[in-house]
Amino acid sequence: MFKRLRADIEAAKRNDPAARNKFEIWLTYSGVHALSWHRFANRLYRMHLKLLARMASQFAKFLTGIEIHPAAKIEGGVFIDHGAGVVIGETAEVKSGAVIYQGVTLGGTGKEKGKRHPTIENDVVISSGAKVLGGFTVGAGAKIGAGAVVLKEVPPHATVVGVPGRVVRIRGEKPDLQQEKVDPNAEEIGALKARIHKLEAALEKLTGEAFECPREEEELFPVCAPESKDE
């Protein structure tokens, strides 16, 4: 426990330019306090004293404004900066070197069972207000932008921004990703058009009336229903 506490203090000193000395960090940093309480609660949880573990985690939340489920797995050397409003779920895993700012949620979508919270690999930075939701992995060295909502796996050393989160950089370079080439609205319209044409062809078989595409519709929807064929 003390080894992890030293690692947490070192991480705070390394990542916060305002930190003056280790003693001040130990006395005043809410993130360090929350992690220390979490490790105590986690030990109680692993001893199957789950009610006491939850009581300890709730007391830590009252003191620090940071809520960490007792079952979450957090390595030493994690830095929670400021920390107000941070929530870390039951099956979340956070590895050494990760930096988490205020308002971050490592949660689930409410649909999964089992592993339903994210795994944060080494040296990941999660900026203020970001939400990482689901049982996937955020790769080592990745950066999550402020306010981003991340719903799928993030590759190592990627930068993710937006709602929903999308990869805009990998190792500082813009990736050639298919996600940037696909217009979901155009795909949906295309699927609806194909369905309409299929239904019109079936209706033509039943009624014997030929389908004719009006000129104005032809300009908007250039592909008319296919001619019916005898099976």
Helices 30-46, 50-64: crossing angle, 10 deg rounding: 170
Confidence at residue 220, expressed as pLDDT on a 0 to 100 scale: 52
d(CA 97, CA 176): 28
CA angle 40, 46, 47 (to 5 degrees): 90
Distance between alpha carbon 198 and the CA centroid of its chain, in Å?
Answer: 39
What parts of the chain have a pLDDT lower than 70?
Answer: 1, 172, 176-184, 210-231
Amino acid making up residue 15: N
Exposed / middle / buried, residue 117 (Cβ in 10 Å: 0-12, 13-18, 19+): buried
- Retrieve residue 117's tokens: 């919270």
User: Is residue 105 a contact partner of residue 131, using CB atoms and an 8 Å limit?
Assistant: yes
Cα 177 from Cα 181, distance rounded (Å): 7
From 46, 117, 125, select the one nearest 78 (Cα to Cα): 125
Residue 164: is the preceding peptide bond cis (ω within 30°)?
yes
Return the pLDDT at 219.
53
pTM above 0.85, yes or no: no
Residue 79 CA, chain-centre distance (Å), reads: 18
Residue 93, beta-bridge partner list: 73, 119
